[in-house]
């Protein structure tokens, strides 16, 4: 659709990168607000978000360079400015955030609760960036939804679905955070919602990851992993019930 937002001389601003940057800024603002609601130092949460973002970008760039060393030698600026986050980059974000939280002695579960709505908001922005850039097409469909996206007619707009479900997750987790009192519950809710949303949307993507790797001839490996994440998220609520029963 609109892969390039603008051209400033020799510099091209990719739509995905611009939307992702806006989403990151809004996500940090939301995380800081949630931190204040939970009594967590909001300045520390600001720093945690920035350090996690830098850790994500740095590790992602290093992974891309390791995978494409020849391309990096010929086009270093192009490789370094790719709006791409690898799975190792996400791991870098988690490790950087946990390391900073431990260093500042922040309450881990309540800090994670404060970050959850913002993380879902960033996820929604990333999906929206894919939508505007014309990426992430779904499987063919004769349904009217296949005509919603100009230029991609006849396919499920899975990026739109994913963005809408992520925004719903933001609303639900933020509303729950304002009423919850036990650390980890908002995190568990967000984790479960994100996994369920991914499970649903993946069914509308053609030939998704590991299509031939099944568990018991019933679930794909990635589907089993998502169900496990839902179980982990719900475990925070089971812990609360046991505590209340004592």
* pLDDT tens per residue, range 60-87: 777 777 777 887 787 777 666 665 666 6
Provide mean pLDDT across the span 125-136. 80
What range does the domain containing 195 cover? 109-245
pLDDT beyond 90 at 176: yes
229 found inside a domain: yes
pLDDT beyond 60 at 242: no
**SS3 of 65, please?**
helix
29 found inside a domain: no
Regarding predicted confidence, which is higher, 30 or 17?
Answer: 30
Q: How many CB atoms lie within 10 A of CB 16?
A: 24
What is the predicted pLDDT for the residue at 30?
Answer: 96
What is the predicted pLDDT for the residue at 76?
Answer: 76
Regarding predicted confidence, which is higher, 221 or 48?
Answer: 48
46 found inside a domain: no
- pLDDT range class, residue 25, cuts 50, 70, 90: very high
Residue corresponding to tokens 């989403």:
23
Could you tell me how far CA 201 lies from the centroid of its own chain?
14
17 found inside a domain: no
What is the overall mean pLDDT for the chain? 79
128 found inside a domain: yes
> CA-to-CA distance for 102 and 122, rounded, in angstroms?
23
Terminal alpha carbon distance of the chain: 57
Q: What is this structure's pTM?
A: 0.81
> Looking at the 3D structure of the chain, how many domains does it have?
1
> CA-to-CA distance for 211 and 221, rounded, in angstroms?
9
176 found inside a domain: yes
209 found inside a domain: yes
Residues of the chain with pLDDT > 70, as a percent, come to 76
85-92, long-range: CB < 8 A, 24+ apart: 85/56, 85/57, 85/60, 86/59, 86/60, 88/59, 88/60, 88/63, 89/55, 89/56, 89/57, 89/59, 89/60, 89/63, 90/56, 91/59, 92/55, 92/56, 92/58, 92/59, 92/60
72 found inside a domain: no
> CA-to-CA distance for 60 and 91, rounded, in angstroms?
10
């Amino acid at each position: 659709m609109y892969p390039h937002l603008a051209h400033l001389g020799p510099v091209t601003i990719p739509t995905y990168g611009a939307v992702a940057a806006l989403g990151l800024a809004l996500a940090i603002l939301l995380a800081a607000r949630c931190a204040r609601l939970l009594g967590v130092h909001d300045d520390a949460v600001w720093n945690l978000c920035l350090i996690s973002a830098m850790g994500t970008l740095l590790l992602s760039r290093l992974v891309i360079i390791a995978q494409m060393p020849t391309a990096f030698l010929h086009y270093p600026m192009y490789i370094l400015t790719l709006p791409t986050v690898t799975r190792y980059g996400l791991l870098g974000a988690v490790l950087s955030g946990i390391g900073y939280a431990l260093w500042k002695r922040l309450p881990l579960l309540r800090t994670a609760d404060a970050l959850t709505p913002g993380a879902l908001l960033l996820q929604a922005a990333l999906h929206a960036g894919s939508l505007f850039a014309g990426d992430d097409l779904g499987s063919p469909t004769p349904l009217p939804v296949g005509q919603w996206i100009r230029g991609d007619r006849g396919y499920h707009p899975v990026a739109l679905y994913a963005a809408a479900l992520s925004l719903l997750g933001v609303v639900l987790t933020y509303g729950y955070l304002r009423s919850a009192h036990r650390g980890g519950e908002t995190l568990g809710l967000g984790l479960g919602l994100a996994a369920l949303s991914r499970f649903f949307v993946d069914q509308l993507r053609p030939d998704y990851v590991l299509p031939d790797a099944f568990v018991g001839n019933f679930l794909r490996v990635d589907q089993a992993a998502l169900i496990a994440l839902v179980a982990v998220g719900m475990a925070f609520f089971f812990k609360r019930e046991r505590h209340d029963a004592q």
